[in-house]
Amino acid sequence: MASSRAPRKNAYENTPVAMEKYTNTYEPFLVEVMAVRTWQCLNGCVSLDWTYENCVVYSIRTLAPAFRITAFLTGIYLIVLNQFALSWPVIFRYNLFLDNASMKPGNVTLNVCMLLWALDFTFMATAYAYAWSNSKRAWWRGWDFLGFRPHTTLLVLFYSVVLGAVALVGITLTHTALSHMWHARNVWFAVLLLQQCVMLVVSSLGDAISIGSPWGVQRASRVASVLLSVRLRGLVPLTVIFSIASVFSSWPPSYCLQC
């Protein structure tokens, strides 16, 4: 007799009570359950019904990829300006440390913020590399004797390179905003960082909407589902908190604009 815990194919059920059937996972992780509950709250706290979607969920689903692309294009634009249009460098012009002993807490805050942003971009790139490269296509004729799908290998390499570049651009953009805030007290880079936080929150909520149901990201890759859920419930709140703290560290209460 087969084990009752064995995975079933196409076992998704549009049920109002069973999270396991909604995600087609017999033992979903806590972060995955919390991600689905986040979507459920955004959807008006209705039952687990993937056929219903209110205007909030629809708007987030539409805006999330647009915000992610916008952040990437902003980083590309900054890199192009740095290389071809500006007479002095913007990228990596400053580091994230000040020699002033009184600013050591601020040094810690900004470097922790930078670390969280780097982890966030890494989690995002890794999750989507797993999800997008998990091909379900048939074997190429004549290649089955190799024991692996060559087109899957090519997809893994392609998406790893593309999403790795996306992560590097995002990390570069964030480092530039933080360093110019910290050293030059440039308010426009603070605005850029806060806008990036808004886009981060919306895009991560878009990931929560994509977990569960037959069209969810976990259908392509369970690893991607877990990584995006950890990012939503763990990394994103900490990243936003430390980003706001970094802004206040750059303009502390004792800061004097005329001094």
- Residue 149, phi then psi, degrees to nearest 5: -90, 115
Residue entry with tokens 């979903």: 28
In the chain, at which residue ranges do the beta strands (DSSP E only) sit?
none
- Split at pLDDT 50, 70, 90, the class of 7 is very low
Q: How far is CA 9 from CA 24, 137, 164, 257, in A?
A: 8, 17, 32, 64
Average pLDDT over the chain, rounded to an integer:
83
In 179-254, at which residue ranges do the beta strands (DSSP E only) sit?
none
Question: Is-contact 222 32, C-beta < 8 A?
Answer: no
For residue 140, the 8-state DSSP code is P
pLDDT digits (tens, 9 = 90+) for 24-42: 777 888 888 888 888 888 8
By the 10 Å C-beta count (0-12 exposed, 13-18 middle, 19+ buried), 235 is classed as buried
Residue 255 pLDDT > 70: no
Residue 52 pLDDT > 60: yes
Task: Fill in the amino acid letter for 160.
Answer: S
Contacts of 26 (CB under 8 A, 6+ apart): 5, 7, 20
For residue 234, the 8-state DSSP code is I
pLDDT of residue 172: 94
For residue 186, the 8-state DSSP code is -
Report the C-alpha gap between 204 and 229 in whole angstroms: 9
Report the C-alpha gap between 22 and 45 in whole angstroms: 15
pLDDT of residue 51: 79
Q: Where are the alpha helices (DSSP H) in the chain?
A: 19-23, 30-42, 55-80, 104-133, 150-184, 187-209, 217-220, 222-230, 236-250
- Split at pLDDT 50, 70, 90, the class of 240 is very high
- Split at pLDDT 50, 70, 90, the class of 2 is very low
Least confident range from 31-35, 58-62, 216-220: namely 216-220
What radius of gyration, in Å, describes the C-alpha atoms of the chain? 22
pLDDT of residue 254: 65
CB atoms within 10 A of CB 185: 13
Residue entry with tokens 């916008």: 70
